[in-house]
A = this chain, B = another copy of it.
Amino acid sequence: MKDVASQIRQGNRLALSCLLTWIENENPEGRAALDELFALTGRAFIIGITGPSGSGKSTLVNRLAIQLTGSPQTPQSVAVLAIDPSSPFSGGAILGDRVRMRDLMEHPEIFVRSAATRGALGGLARAASEMVLALEAGGFDFVLVETVGAGQSEVDIACLAHTTLVVEAPGLGDDIQAAKAGILEIADILVVNKADKNGADTAARSLAAMLEIGADAAGLNREEQVTWKVPVLKTSALNDEGIDELVAAIRQHRTYLETSGEWQRRSQIRLDDLFERLLREKLFAEWKRNIQNRKYEQILGEIHTRKISPYQALKQFRA
């Protein structure tokens, strides 16, 4: 595909899909295109949605995407990037895409894409960061980044977003499980989805209580506090309930971000983080190019046999 960057500039979605694939496959053409498109980035409102599987997150994201497009006369455009821990091996990402596409078929202003886990160290977080850049360059008003689970990668990916939603649902586990989920600290808005189910009120109350404890532990004085107070909202995505209120809270959070200077700070952190990742990668790649393979293998062999420790081995290499 020739001149992908200029075609993306003209709103060509096929070209955008192609660029996203390049990024996913770490094809160098992807970086060349992103380099060209970089000046177009920085305008989208990036919303992260994370939470455990079984919380009905995907349905919620679909509803949210539709709601964010606004009036049919002057629709806003929405991109959904679903970060999927499936590997290409199981084909999970593709399957997920198909199910979503069916739901969103009547909404051409919504663009959906899944990205699968990369094996490389930190590979997924970097790829996600670059895919968001590509979607911003594609001119979307909103970019929704959905992640499954509650691990380190989700925390990394939350750093991409202006606003992070953490989605829970009743019946996924006891209180301690919820406390262990530990991603509460990254939440700007907490959502208890499947609110039609038993236990939704209890879950919402217990999350609100945990937020209080967290705020106390962080030494925040709520009287003086001019910062954001994380709301706990109940939704039932399947029945399309609570989505209006959720969108209202998201818009309030955007206003908070813009008036507090936090919008700019988060936008910058995201770029700093990407740059540091790229730099670390480059340093290692250049170092590897300059080192003799045989020497490296020999040292690894000495570690395997416990002749030297990894820490001693480090001293044998100069940067």
**A34-B311, A121-B122 known; 11 other A-B pairs, CB under 8 Å?**
A52-B52, A85-B152, A85-B155, A121-B156, A147-B151, A148-B150, A151-B151, A271-B300, A272-B303, A275-B313, A283-B284
What does the 1/0 interface line of A18-53 toward B look like (CB < 8 Å)? 000000000000011011001101100000000011
Is A1 an interface residue, CB under 8 A from the partner?
no
**Taking A152-B153, A155-B117 as contacts, is the C-beta distance between A275 and B303 under 8 angstroms?**
yes
Which of A's residues lie within 8 Å of B, judged by CB?
Answer: 31-32, 34-35, 38-39, 41-42, 52-54, 84-87, 89-92, 95-96, 99, 116-117, 119, 121-125, 147-156, 172-173, 176-177, 179-185, 210, 213-214, 217-218, 267-268, 271-272, 274-280, 282-284, 286-287, 299-300, 303-304, 306, 309-314, 317, 319
Question: Could you say which of B35, B90, B280 contacts A182, with CB atoms under 8 Å apart?
Answer: B90
Q: Is the CB of B304 within 8 A of A85?
A: no
Q: Is the CB of B152 within 8 A of A117?
A: yes
CA distance A221 to B32 in the complex (A): 41
CA distance A286 to B180 in the complex (A): 36
Smallest beta-carbon distance A82→chain B, Å? 9
What are 10 of the A-B contact pairs (CB < 8 Å)? Answer: A85-B154, A86-B179, A90-B184, A90-B213, A90-B214, A92-B182, A119-B155, A268-B300, A271-B304, A275-B300
Contacts of A303 in B (CB 8 A): 271-272, 275
CA distance A278 to B310 in the complex (A): 8
Q: Is the CB of B182 within 8 A of A86?
A: yes
Contacts of A119 in B (CB 8 A): 155
Q: Is the CB of A317 within 8 A of B272?
A: no
Q: Is the CB of A180 within 8 A of B86?
A: yes
Contacts of A284 in B (CB 8 A): 279-280, 283
Contacts of A275 in B (CB 8 A): 299-300, 303, 310, 313-314
A-B pairs, 6 with minimum CB distance: A86-B182, A151-B151, A38-B309, A152-B153, A286-B319, A149-B149
Q: Is the CB of A181 within 8 A of B282?
A: no
A96, A180, A287, most chain B CB atoms within 10 A: A180
The chain B residue with its CB closest to the CB of A277 is B121
The chain B residue with its CB closest to the CB of A84 is B180
Q: Is the CB of B319 within 8 A of A185?
A: no
Contacts of A148 in B (CB 8 A): 150-151, 180-181
Q: Is the CB of A217 within 8 A of B153?
A: no
The chain B residue with its CB closest to the CB of A179 is B92
Smallest beta-carbon distance A279→chain B, Å? 6
